[in-house]
Amino acid sequence: MIRQLIALVLISVMLPALPASAQQETRKKKERAEEKITRMTPELLWKLGRVGNAALSSDGTHVAYTVKRYDLEDNSGTSTLFIKELTSGDTRTLVADWKSIGDVQFVPSPFGERIYLSGLSGKDEEAKPQAWSINPVDGGAYQVTDIEEGIANLKVDPTGKHLAFTVDIKLDKEVTELFEDLPKADARIIDSLMFRHWNAWHDYKFSHLHIAKLDQQGRAEEATDLMKDVRADCPVPPFGGSEQFNWSPDGSEIAYTLKDVDDWAESTNSDVFVVKVERPTTVVNISEGMEGYDNNPVYSPDGRFLAFHSMQRAGFESDRNRIMIYDRAGGEITEATGGLDQTTHGATWSPDGNQLYFTSEHHGTVQVYRVPRVGGPAKQVSNGRFNWNLIAVDSSGKKALVSYMSMLRPTELGLLNLSKGTSEKITRVNDELYRNLELPKIQQRWVEATDGKKIHCWVIYPPKFDPKKKWPLLTYCQGGPQGQIGQWFSFRWNFHLMAANDYVIVAPNRRGLPGFGREWNDQISGDWGGQAMQDILSATDDLMGENFIDPKRTGAIGASFGGYTAYWLMGNHEDRFACMISHCGVFNLESMYGSTEELFFVNWDLGGPYWESRKIQREYDQFSPHRFVKNWTTPLLVIHGQKDFRVPVTQGIEAFTAAQVEGVPSRFLYFPDEGHWVLGPQNGVLWHRVFFDWLDRYCKPTTKRKASASK
């Protein structure tokens, strides 16, 4: 986002403390007026506050956190920074209604502990995100950086002397720069793969990690590019953030993640590099020779060790994520999680450096665990039907700042007692909106698979569920294909909202999903249309056997691999389903291979290019939904975004065309400005309106069916 790194001329921009804004007061009045709402609605989903980044003060007495709220009419959102004193419970607004607030961190400074964040205040329409320093007492703020095109992924060293952040650096030339006499030429010259990724074309820039010293006034001096001339990104796109780099405790060294390989589209080989602040041109790759994902380094409190996550198998993006320990003195690497048949996330050191805390999927939830640094049995710390996320362990080592969510409610913050496993709430962001809501009921259910194994399922029942009545059923098909159906609260695939519309939902953790051991997780690779599909049908049949389910009013729904599942079931469900919905689903495995971007994914899960061998070609033929269109009779809603480069929009177009040609009732919901996910507020509400309209046509006999959109 800048064409070249320039000397930083940093101007302090003092902002007064901001009281609750008029916009907030208007919002509260609207919320009070909506107290009569008793069921979740698409519109209410977009009124919920979304808890974002959070940080714990060094003495463990205060928590700073952000909340983003959306205005449906304006089709946009703003973020507010709050601080809460944990003893008294007093909560204050520090900065309100910013366009964006990113990483949040308490940092020592000559003026006392301050809060650093990356963000965009919204005062200037031409402004870009910068680093800011906030007074936690009165909200007074000053701008720390002044980078022409803005910064991202801010992290201050523990001593408060240096900043680290990323800046997009332009290294590649556009066509009009290669041919200056053709200034109106509109084209791309492409010589290698990964020319587009997820939802964006290569913009000729690379995200580079920079460091800058802070002067006595707390402003950044001239920044140093630690990746000068490197055509690679830190963080690794598309999902990496500031967790992919960290400072040593004394601020003398920084470790970061980089995927600098020639075959980017076919490789998962990212590595962890370390560099001294005083010798920024001397970089050491500590994970060299480890061919899978290596990322997210974090130093032990005494600085002796560096922990990082690592996947062993090259090319497998969903391999078991281990925690490795690098001894900075001797250079040896050992695994702390050896023998653990689970994957790990968010490695966090205990204050004494003897233990590591992490989160891991387990039986439809995400729990907090700890393991000795030297290796040994992992012990579960948290409990309950939640997806927990570790943010920080306090200096005493007794409590951790965590976030948690469930299928019923979005993210909130809490304190987790690390010895007892009990927790206490810190935030209640959405209590007012939930005060009068009727909540669904959620139960676990274990279903026997066709091979005799047990399938874990979540079953979600509508508010005021009466087992004496007949209810329509939705079979939810998970994406991934390796992503657990846990206690998450999605703003798209929202089980609470589905149940509020009087559907029973069964969500099976079919073969291929983590949380049930590696054998269960790995089985789906090379078997997309096999046992995983049978698991979904087994779960569906089990629920359809209940007296309270009307078997003639069952729908199948899913996105990505879940969308593939819907297309697969269209030709292989034996009249179980009354209708189906596929969002960004894979329809044709051959054309998918030739148009997707991350080839390492299809190479691993599908066995390689379809032309490579007859065996692979047979598997493509056996499992590609487009081979079974002749069996299609079930009404189908196709949803796809133009900017989805993971599963290109042509997959949805092909499926809709097939349905139309075969005379199958069908509709295509097309978003020209969305990618694999629908992120715009009004687009999101439209998505749900079309989604439920389609389901209601075929699964609710009391709803008057409209004429088919295909005729």
Task: Catalogue the active-site residues.
Answer: 560, 644, 676
- Return the closest-CA partner of residue 167 out of 221, 208, 212: 208
Q: Yes or no: say if 580 and 659 are a contact pair by the CB < 8 Å rule.
A: no
- Return the closest-CA partner of residue 698 out of 651, 646, 656, 635: 635
Which residues lie below 8 Å from residue 105, measured CB to CB, with a gap of 6+? Answer: 55, 115, 116, 117, 154, 155, 156
According to DSSP, residue 301 is labeled T
Tokens 């005494």 -> residue: 302
SS3 assignment, position 521: helix
Tokens 């900043």 -> residue: 163
Which residue(s) pair with 119 in the sheet? 101, 130
- Per-residue exposure over 381-397, b if at least 16 CB sit within 10 Å of its own CB, e if not: bbeeebbbbbbbbbeeb
Output the six-digit token pair for 401.
């700042």
Q: Is 97 left (phi over 0), alpha (psi -120 to 50) or beta?
A: left
Strand-strand pairing, 579-583 and 549-559: parallel
CA angle 348, 318, 154 (to 5 degrees): 45
Reported residue count of the chain is 711
Measured distance CA(144)–CA(132) in Å, rounded: 5
Output the six-digit token pair for 616.
């692979």
Q: Yes or no: say if 559 and 584 are a contact pair by the CB < 8 Å rule.
A: yes
SS3 assignment, position 83: strand
Q: Yes or no: say if 455 and 449 are a contact pair by the CB < 8 Å rule.
A: yes
Measured distance CA(302)–CA(353) in Å, rounded: 7
Q: Yes or no: say if 487 and 405 are a contact pair by the CB < 8 Å rule.
A: yes
- Return the closest-CA partner of residue 502 out of 538, 435, 548, 562: 548
> What percent helix, strand, coil does the chain show, rounded to 5?
20, 35, 50
- Return the closest-CA partner of residue 72 out of 684, 700, 702: 684
SS3 assignment, position 490: coil
- Return the closest-CA partner of residue 72 out of 98, 110, 46: 46
Tokens 């041919």 -> residue: 179
Helix (H) / strand (E) element for 694: namely: helix 681-699
Q: Yes or no: say if 641 and 612 are a contact pair by the CB < 8 Å rule.
A: no
CA angle 304, 327, 310 (to 5 degrees): 115
Strand-strand pairing, 100-107 and 355-362: unpaired
Does residue 440 have a cis peptide bond before it, meaning omega lies within 30 degrees of 0? no
Output the six-digit token pair for 165.
């952040």
CB atoms within 10 A of CB 27: 16
